[in-house]
Structure 1
Amino acid sequence: MKKTIALLAATAMLIGLAACGTTSATTGNDDGSTTTQQQEKPKPADLTGTWKQTNSKSDDSWMEATISGDSIEINWVGQDTKSLYWKGSYEAPSEAGDWKWTSKGDTETMKTALMTSQDDTKDFAYSADKQELTYEASMLGTTMTIRMSKQ
């Protein structure tokens, strides 16, 4: 009778834990008993903040992105300069893992800057494994994949 009550109580606890948005795993112990472990559901990455180019070929020139709210802004950064390259929409991840979005450019802001992209949209990708943001940048007929890490 005690084993039946214990089994029912354990089952009720598992159902309660599943309702809380967690998963549980039961593992066997050396003594023949079982242990229930909780695992939290993975959360989407928070990409807000400042990102810096990791594959620049120069120590004093790189690209820097700032993600805030629903926008992303990318600048060319030099020793004493900062020039706008992209300003557009940002779509935050809604699930854990890799993430991709297409940013729509703020053409009104970008049309007055000399070093901006000529594209109407720009594709961005986030790799959860590498914790890396990537996109393509073109200048003077050359296209390069820009790789960035969060600062």
Structure 2
Amino acid sequence: MKQLKSLGVMACAVALCATFTACGTSGSQTSTSQEMQSTSQESSAPVEKPADLDGKWTQTNANGDDMRMDAEITGDTITVNWVQPDSTSLYWVGTYEAPTAAGDWSWTSKGDTEKMSSALLASGDDTKEFHYTAANEEISFEATAMGTTVTVRMQRQQ
């Protein structure tokens, strides 16, 4: 009889150990499963990158077909030209700072005054503020000619 009691106590102890072990394993499996699910959700979210503005841009708000502005961004330089049907004239050449974060971006371009000094239609400014609007994929800046200042808006050429 004592042996049966001892066997019964041992069986209960083994059952309790198995139950606690199973609960502990289940909890860590659930926790690990949740961590994996959380990690996979984080990695599937798209990572926004800074815009690449290198390339050719053309004015979208020109008053007519007779004259517009075109720009080209290459490396660390931006060049803006007046474009007419039969001629192209330099307006601006200066530094370009590429975006370092996603979204809107602005930079102050330092003009190459030596190159612009010999161009009749070039800006007389030492610096010029350029703005990139991510929502419209648009570059804008102010241009002054013959006493009139306009905001030039440009989009990438297709």
Structure that is richer in strand per residue: 1
- Which residue does 2:150 correspond to in 1? 144
1:71-130: CA deviation from partner (whole Å, max 9, x where unpaired): 000000010100000000000000000000000000111111111000000000000011
From the CA coordinates, give the structure whose radius of gyration is larger.
2
- Which residue does 2:114 correspond to in 1? 108
With the length of structure 1 as denominator, give the TM-score of the two structures.
Answer: 0.82
2:95 corresponds to which of 71, 79, 89: 89
The ranges of structure 1 where at least 4 consecutive aligned residues each deviate by more than 3 angstroms after the TM superposition are: 1-4, 12-15
Identity %: 48
- The correspondence of residues 53-68 of structure 1 with structure 2, limited to 5 A, is 53-68=59-74
Q: Any gaps of 5 or more consecutive residues in structure 2?
A: 1-24
Distance, in Å, in 2 between the alignment partners of 1:120 and 1:130 is 28
Pairwise CA RMSD: 1.7
Number of residue equivalences: 133
Distance, in Å, in 2 between the alignment partners of 1:130 and 1:3 is 49
Q: Any gaps of 5 or more consecutive residues in structure 1?
A: 18-22, 25-36
- The correspondence of residues 5-84 of structure 1 with structure 2, limited to 5 A, is 5-12=29-36, 14-15=38-39, 24=42, 38-84=44-90
Code of the residue aligned with 2:53 in structure 1: it is L
1:3-22: CA deviation from partner (whole Å, max 9, x where unpaired): 6314314414645x5xxxxx
With the length of structure 2 as denominator, give the TM-score of the two structures.
Answer: 0.78
